[in-house]
Chains A and B, each alone.
Chain A
Amino acid sequence: MTAAVQPAPLDQPGERDRSYNFAFLDEQTKRMIRRSLLKALAIPGHQVPFASREMPLPYGWGTGGIQVTAAVIGPQDRLKVIDQGADDTTNAVSIRRFFRRMTGVALTTSTAEATIVQTRHRVPEAPLREGQVIVFQVPIPEPLRWLEPRETETRKMHAYAEYGAMHVKLYEDIARQGHIATTYDYPVLVNGRYLMRPSPIPKFDTRKLHRSPAIQLFGAGREKRIYALPPYTDVVPLDFEDHPFRVQSWRQACARCGATDSYLDELIVDDRGTRRFVCSDTDYCEGRMSTGQGRQGP
């Protein structure tokens, strides 16, 4: 009798499922994705078509991000996965489990400790640093898609940097509502050249992309496109001199940690519709709580 082998703790590297190649994808596919990533990094903001594979998770769940992560991850990496800013949302759990099984890499919820952060809909509050990679899951990569449904047309518009239609759309918002109505997935101009969708992050997060020291990779699996921002790339939201870009802010602080500088989720906590506001970024919130910056909720 031998003692049952205890699986390694999740924050340490552990065994992977050896019936699959490391990180699920075969090596040829990874090379294909890496070539697309290199091209994407060389032309910041430009959408590079890639031969997206079917993955064991559904389209819309982050197949593009998963393929990008699978192409760049190595055994020594430390992976963080978030959805809506939180590590413990079901989709983040599911993707994290997938990579644990297929790679055995160490997992973390700490933004600072992670070498790769895969995210859906948020950029962590804690600033990223050089050497980190953040992978965005992208549903619709084409910023001009709602203005022009045809790929054949939007490709030309990008080629000619013909982005007037987007400015007209933003102007029409202002004329009708007094404000630009795009509140997330806010269009940005990258490196002075390509119009890009930053994925459906709230515009609160848009500025974090600008000259970030981290490598920012965007994967759209169903639409079969990859794009990227190399470190320290200019990322400028479209706006007008008399209607400058603005982001959301809250009167309230986080009800848990008291943060006044984070994006807040609104919780309805009882049948009378009482609202509480807490950090969307759970790691940021936990970090502030554990260093004694939190405050007792009402």
Chain B
Amino acid sequence: MYVAAKGGEAAIDAAHDLLARDRRGDGAVPDLAIAQIRGQLSLAVDRVMNEGGLYDPDLAALAVKQAAGDLVEAVFLLRAFRTTLPRFGYSRPVETAAMQADRRISATFKDVPGGQLLGPTFDYTHRLLDFALEADAEPSEAPDRGSPAPTAGGDRLPQILDLLNQEGLIEAADGAGAEDGEPPDLTREPLRFPAGRQLRLQALARADEGFLLALGYSTQRGYGHSHPFVGELRQGRVSVEFVPPELGEPVVLGEVELTECQLVTQFKGSASEPPAFTRGYGLVFGRAERKAMAMALVDRALRAPDLGEPVTAPAQDEEFVLSHADNVEASGFTQHLKLPHHVDFQAELSHLRLLRAEAEGRAGEPDGEPAGENQE
């Protein structure tokens, strides 16, 4: 009898069949259409696009369907597709000041130029299960709101933190070097430390939402405290412009929906700098406020060394944060423990037996067990 090694081929095929069956679920229930996922699970689609690092709602919806709703698995599917795409250049930095915002709030000022616009938000809903949604709905028009959804920013919507800057009370946005030629790209170059803010922001935008949320939260609880305020949160659509080298001037490739968070945080000042407000920045695809805010908290925390602050908390430690923020990496390496490890385990087993045999004063071992280690 030889049990262990054979059967891999048939087992994999059978496992894939079972997976496909489970994903489809009850055949009497209609199959989910991609348009349904895109339209009705749009926040799941947004999360997959963010962490997948690819703006394509249809493909993200397909990934959600294929992954049976496992969003980290869907992120992985999208990343594995993204990796096959050629890169033909880099867009110009998007101008969020020119955003057609459907939500824009500031927690630091009661009223702001351009106005506060609540937009679609869970913030003030009562979290009571709405049993009306249980019933199968016939196709219908979207609930009538009487008028088109309002948007702000017919003209440019000023960045609220820039208003503080007029008084010199807040550091200028550094733009993270956005105009200095080609940006660094962590999908094309391995991450090295220190990474710098541009790469940090890239990594945070792709980072696992749950991980960022916990890290950001930890800074609010004393592990790297920075007294944050939401200076501005806006979401809406912006144009993406690209300058083809043969044309020499920008053409609009299309629009993307973004959520941007600008935090105002304290800075006590240093020997060379007077006290001022500082910034934390978050920018993500789609509607993903929680992620954008967590990103901004962590961005600010990671700036501690640049601002001469002591690095005492995990969220301030660039190498710790960036090395563990990617859920495709983390999920893979955590779950690889399911792969067979019996060769290494055998090595540990025979070593342990040797140590125990020695501890018990036995010179040899019963036949059938490893004799431990022989000098080579």
Nearest CB of B to A188, in Å: 14
* A50 / chain B contacts, CB cutoff of 8 Å: 190
Q: How large is the interface on B (under 10, 10 to 19, 20 to 34, 35 or more residues)?
A: 35 or more
What separation, in Å, do the CA atoms of A89 and B3 have in the docked complex? Answer: 12
Q: Report Cα–Cα, A122/B5, bound state, in Å.
A: 15
Which residues of B lie under 8 Å from residue A266 when comparing CB positions?
Answer: 342, 346, 349
State the CA gap A288–B2 with chains docked (Å). Answer: 16
Q: Contact check: which of B83, B344, B376 meets A183 at CB < 8 Å?
A: B344
B86 / chain A contacts, CB cutoff of 8 Å = 26, 28
Residues facing B in A211-226 (CB within 8 A) are 222, 224-225
* Known contacts A150-B319, A202-B346, A267-B4: A58-B190 contact under CB 8 Å: no
Chain B, residues 174-200, CB within 8 Å of chain A (1/0): the string is: 000000000000011111111000000
What is the CB-to-nearest-CB distance from A154 to chain B, in angstroms, rounded to a whole number? Answer: 11
* Contact between chains at B319 and A59 (CB < 8 Å): no
Instruction: Let me know if B168 is at the binding interface, CB within 8 A.
Output: no
| A282–B17 alpha-carbon span in the complex (Å) | 28
User: Which residue of B79, B187, B375 is within 8 Å of A51 (Cβ)?
Assistant: B187
Q: How far is the CA of A275 from the CA of B3 in the complex (A)?
A: 12
B4 touching A51, Cβ below 8 Å? no
Give Cα distance in the complex from A60 to B336, angstroms. Answer: 5
Is B370 located at the chain interface by the 8 A CB criterion?
yes
Chain A residues positioned under 8 Å from B319 (CB to CB): 150-152
Residues of chain A contacted by B371 (CB below 8 angstroms): 249-251
**Residue B112, interface by CB 8 Å:** no
Binary interface encoding of chain B residues 307-336 relative to chain A, with 1 for a CB under 8 A from any of its CBs, else 0: 000000000000100010000110111111
Q: Is the CB of A247 within 8 A of B374?
A: yes
Asked if A297 and B339 sit within 8 Å, CB to CB, the answer is no
The answer to the question of B341 belonging to the interface, with a C-beta cut-off of 8 Å to chain A, is yes
8 Å CB contacts to A: which residues of B1-49? Answer: 1-9, 11-12
B347 in complex: contacting residue of A49, A58, A179, A248, CB < 8 Å: A248
Q: Which of B190, B340, B358 meets A52, CB within 8 Å?
A: B190
Give Cα A224 to B333, complex, Å: 13
Instruction: Give chain A's interface residue range (CB within 8 Å of chain B).
Output: 35 or more
Residues of A within 8 A of B365 (CB): 251
Closest Cβ–Cβ distance, residue B168 to chain A (whole Å): 35
Q: Which residues of A contact B193 (CB under 8 A)?
A: 150-152
Whether A248 contacts B343 by the Cβ 8 Å rule is: no
Out of B333, B341, B372, name the residue touching A248 (CB < 8 Å).
B372
Q: Which residue of B lies closest to A248 (CB)?
A: B350
Which of these binds chain B: A38-46, A91-99, A159-167?
A91-99
- The reply on A177 being an interface residue by CB < 8 A is yes
- Interface membership of A178, Cβ < 8 A: yes
Question: B348 contacts the other chain (Cβ, under 8 Å)?
Answer: yes
A89 to B354, CA, bound (A): 29
Tell whether, in the assembled complex, residue A60 and residue B376 are in contact, meaning their CB atoms are under 8 Å apart.
no
A168 interface hit (Cβ, 8 Å): no
Q: How far is the CB of B99 from chain A (nearest CB, A)?
A: 30
Verify B342–A60 contact, CB threshold 8 A.
no
Q: Which residues of B sit under 8 angstroms from A20, Cβ to Cβ?
A: 84
Residues of A within 8 A of B370 (CB): 248-251, 264
Q: Which residues of B contact A24 (CB under 8 A)?
A: 84
Residues B341 and A269 in contact, CB atoms below 8 Å apart: no
Q: Is A53 an interface residue (CB 8 A)?
A: yes
How far is A25 from B2 in the complex, measured between Cα atoms in Å? 38
Given contacts A60-B335, A93-B8, A202-B343, contact A278 B2 (CB under 8 A): yes
Which of chain B's residues 63-92 have a Cβ closer than 8 Å to chain A? 76, 79-80, 82-84, 86
A93-B343 contact given A151-B193, A267-B4, CB 8 Å threshold: no
**Known A-B contacts A59-B332, A60-B336, A246-B374; A89 and B5 likewise in contact (beta carbons under 8 Å):** yes
Task: From known contacts A61-B336, A249-B373, A251-B371, infer whether A56 and B8 are also in contact, taking CB-CB under 8 Å.
Answer: no
A256 contacts partner chain B, Cβ-Cβ < 8 Å: yes
> Once the chains are docked, how many angstroms separate the CA of A151 from the CA of B323?
10
B332→A121 contact, CB < 8 A = no
A252 at the interface (CB under 8 A from B): yes
- Stretch from A80-88, A124-132, A189-197, A227-235 forming part of the interface with B: A80-88
Check if A265 sits within 8 Å of B346, measured CB to CB. Answer: yes
A152 to B319, CA, bound (A): 9
Supposing A54-B79, A251-B371, A297-B1 touch, asked if A88 and B8 sit within 8 A by C-beta, the answer is yes
Candidate in A54, A120, A256, A282 with the most chain B CB atoms within 10 angstroms? A54
Residues of A within 8 A of B346 (CB): 202, 248, 263-266, 280
- A86 / chain B contacts, CB cutoff of 8 Å: 4-5
Is the CB–CB distance between B343 and A122 below 8 Å? yes
- B339-A93 in contact (CB<8A): no
Q: Does the CB pair A203–B343 fall under 8 Å? A: no
In this complex, which of B82, B334, B336, B343 has the most chain A Cβ atoms within 10 angstroms of its Cβ? Answer: B343
With A88-B6, A250-B370 in contact, is A269–B1 under 8 Å at CB?
A: yes
Q: Once the chains are docked, how many angstroms separate the CA of A183 from the CA of B347?
A: 6
Tell me, yes or no, whether B367 is within 8 Å of chain A by CB: yes
The CA-CA distance from A178 to B357 in the complex, in Å, is 12
Please, which residue of chain B has its CB at the minimum distance from the CB of A59? B332
Closest 7 CB pairs of A and B: A60-B336, A59-B332, A58-B332, A183-B347, A224-B190, A49-B190, A246-B373
Instruction: List 24 A-B pairs, Cβ < 8 Å.
Output: A24-B84, A26-B84, A52-B190, A53-B187, A54-B80, A60-B334, A90-B12, A139-B336, A150-B319, A151-B319, A177-B355, A179-B354, A183-B350, A202-B346, A202-B347, A203-B347, A225-B190, A246-B376, A248-B350, A266-B342, A269-B1, A269-B3, A278-B2, A297-B1
Extra A-B contacts (8), CB below 8 Å, given A83-B340, A89-B8, A224-B191: A61-B332, A85-B343, A94-B12, A139-B333, A152-B193, A202-B347, A222-B329, A280-B346
